[in-house]
Structure formats: structure tokens, C-alpha cells
């Protein structure tokens, strides 16, 4: 399903394209986990690792992609 995304500035569009390019570099057969809801993105990497271990019941060092959502 294609969707149209409008950006306020060119910089926002470039940031979005860069993020998609980074995600595209991952192998296609990698597990992807999405933490639904707001996550404070100012936390340290140790906090994110503990979220993975506590809520996903997974090893934070596993070869998987864990996605967290901020407010925006």
C-alpha cells in the first residue's frame, strides 16, 4: 500500500529518505519488533536494552531490529 507523505520542509523530507535508506540496508530476513506507545528517546542505551529484555523477553544483543517511538 502506497501512501503520500507531505513534509513541511525539504530537510524533513531528506531526513525521512535517509531513515528509509538505513532501514533498507538491513537483511530482509531479520526480525523486527516495534515498541508500541511513547518511549522517552532521551534515555540511555542501557534503558532501551532493559526494555527489550523486560517487555519483549528477548536478548537485546540478538540480531533483531527494535524500533521505539518518540512523541513526534
CA distance 54 to 18: 30
Q: For the whole prediction, is pTM greater than 0.95? A: no
Domain boundaries along the sequence of the chain: 10-69
pLDDT at residue 12 in the model: 65
3-class SS at 5?
coil
> Residues 19-56: pLDDT tens digits?
666 666 665 677 888 887 888 888 888 988 988 898 88
Q: From residue 4, how far is each of 7, 26, 38, 67 by CA, in Å?
A: 10, 24, 24, 22
Contact 38, 71 (CB under 8 A): yes
pLDDT at position 39, please? 81
CA gap 18, 33 in Å, rounded: 20
**55 vs 72, higher pLDDT:** 55
Amino acid at each position: 500500500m502506497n501512501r503520500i507523505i507531505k513534509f513541511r520542509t525539504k530537510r524533513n523530507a531528506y531526513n525521512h529518505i535517509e531513515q528509509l535508506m538505513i532501514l533498507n540496508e538491513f537483511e530482509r530476513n531479520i526480525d523486527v519488533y516495534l515498541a508500541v506507545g511513547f518511549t522517552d528517546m532521551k534515555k540511555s542505551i542501557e534503558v532501551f536494552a532493559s526494555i527489550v529484555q523486560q517487555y519483549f523477553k528477548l536478548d537485546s544483543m540478538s540480531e533483531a531490529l527494535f524500533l521505539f517511538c518518540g512523541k513526534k
